[in-house]
Amino acid sequence: MINQKIEDQQNIRIQNCLKAEQTKIADQQVSHNIIRIDFTVYDYLQPEVIKKICLIQAYCRMLIKKKNYKCLKVWAVKRRKVYEELIQTETTYLADMKIVLEKVVKNVKEMKLLPENEIQKAFSNISQIYDLNKTFLRELQKKLEFYHNNVCVGQIFLKYIPFFKMYFQYLQEFNIDQISILRNQYQDFDNFLKNLEEACVFKGGDLNSFLIKPVQRLPRYSLLITSVVKYTWKDHPDYQDLQKTLNSFASVTQQIDLLMGNILKNQALFELQYKFFNLINVQIVESTRQFILTESLSIIYDGKEEPINLYLCTDLIVLTKINEENQKYIKESLITYSFLDLQSHYESEQLPSLNFTLLAGEQKMWFTCQDQEQKLKLLQEFDAILANLKNNASLRSFKKAKTQAYSLIKVQIVSITRGQELLKTYAQYNITIINQSQSYATQTRHKVLLKLQKKLQNEFQKESQEELGSSILFQNWIKNRLNKESNDGRKVIVQEFLETLLNSHLVKTRPEYFLRKLKLPQDFYERKVISQSRYQSLAKSQIG
């Protein structure tokens, strides 16, 4: 009986499963019929819809291709202009170098206006650089003579980049003050350069403005190659070589920056000094002053707008105007200048007005910019300058409060003798250091000076970056220049380095290491101040 019940339950379950399966099949047939009916209803519309979709897709592809073509066409034009600028600037650069070699170096040697060692210091390996760039230009011109959009010059740059390293010798030996020093020492050389300047051989500038050109040339190549890569499409045959060239120049220009510091910016100060301020006997070249930018805009004078050039430095503004311009030279004259201080400020009209007023010293100047971008740029620079002046003023007052017990420390290099360590000899600098009422006799050597400079850069890393180029403490003169100078040159460098070091507010905050290396007492900065007359008499007795 039990078995009968089990069989009945299994039969019931089988029948239920069959009914469920039949219901599922019926539902699928209904849905399939519905879909078939829907497709049948809209079947006559499908060709038109598909045709329109295909047209839309083709139109979109056409727009994308057309946009890409226009972009490539613009890139091709800009790429060609960059190559034209490369050839033009290289030709001008070589012409300027030829002037230096034929008009200056050749005549100076023939007329014996300078000793051979001074000629080497002043002009270094400029003749080798000229020969290298002359060959480089010849290859560029040959490659670009019959220009087309797929022309390749990357291989030429890759070929010459290793040879461009000869520029490093020029950069290491280049001294922006060298020509001025020689002009003061050798009157015939000064008169010779004056005759060339009067004849506009230097195109309205001076010899320094030509000798700085090799310093500026390699970074110029880097900028031009960057522009070429920017306007070269990725499937261009020269793209990979140009990328390699750009990477190579990036490492080269990085080494240049380390060698030169801020010399390019400071060169503008020397040019301003030579062009305008020597005539009125005003000295604007200072280690704490740096050139920022130059802009062409207008000044409002007696109700009229006059075009001017504005030169902006960290605490100085110079206004000039061009009186005459031609292919041979540009004649520019000074309008006015003013030093910026804590009382300086500007008043700006709201945009879209392009006017603003600057109050500096006792002068009030009304300016009109060329566009809104220039106005915003100038006002941002003025904000940064004025904020920096306030910070420096507060910092100076703080330093004055901390160091008011210190007086100026003098250093004199008495002599240079030969010392001996094991089997090696070295130059020993015998020094007299005068601090207030005390006089100290000590010695140092090149090895110790190198340690002092390395300690300065490690101890005051942030300050070394900010003051690079403006302070001898962070210019690597001890490492790069000291052993290349004559004894007199070495004395000047060591004296200036040690005086700057011992009077530096940075060193005075942590003097222990520097005093120990110079064999000075640890209470060196804690002496009492003596009267000025006694200090002067002591200094005269030691130095005289």
For residue 428, the domain's CATH number is 3.30.1520.10
| 374 pLDDT above the threshold of 80 | yes
Provide the 10 A C-beta neighbour count for residue 415.
10
Residue type for position 257:
D
Instruction: Give the confidence band of 349 by pLDDT, cuts at 50, 70, 90.
Output: confident
Answer yes or no: do 211 and 335 share one domain: no
pLDDT at residue 101, as a whole number: 92
Most distant pair of Cα atoms in the chain: their distance: 141
Give the whole-angstrom CA distance, residue 124 versus residue 259.
Answer: 16
Q: Say how many domains are in the chain.
A: 3
Answer yes or no: do 348 and 306 share one domain: yes
Answer yes or no: do 138 and 203 share one domain: yes
| 221 pLDDT above the threshold of 50 | yes
- Alpha-carbon dihedral 389, 393, 394, 396, rounded to 10 degrees: 130
Answer yes or no: do 118 and 219 share one domain: yes
Question: Which domain, by its residues, includes 314?
Answer: 291-403
Residue 139 counted as domain residue: yes
Among residues 388, 403, 418, which one ends one of the domains? 403
pLDDT digits 0-9 by tens, 496-534 = 788 888 877 778 878 888 888 888 888 887 754 444 444
CATH assignment at residue 360: 2.30.29.30
CB 363 within 8 A of CB 411: no
pLDDT at residue 256, as a whole number: 63
pLDDT at residue 95, as a whole number: 92
| 317 pLDDT above the threshold of 60 | yes
Answer yes or no: do 329 and 299 share one domain: yes
More confident residue, 500 or 40: 500
pLDDT at residue 422, as a whole number: 65
Answer yes or no: do 416 and 491 share one domain: yes
Residue 452 counted as domain residue: yes
Instruction: Give the confidence band of 152 by pLDDT, cuts at 50, 70, 90.
Output: confident
Answer yes or no: do 90 and 214 share one domain: yes
Kindly report the CA angle at 304 between 298 and 307, in degrees rounded to 5? 25
Answer yes or no: do 237 and 111 share one domain: yes
pLDDT at residue 4, as a whole number: 61
CB 456 within 8 A of CB 471: no
The share of the chain scoring above pLDDT 90, in percent, equals 6
Answer yes or no: do 229 and 298 share one domain: no
pLDDT digits 0-9 by tens, 420-468 = 776 677 788 888 888 766 788 888 888 888 888 888 877 776 655 554 4
Answer yes or no: do 528 and 510 share one domain: yes
pLDDT at residue 130, as a whole number: 92
pTM of the model: 0.45
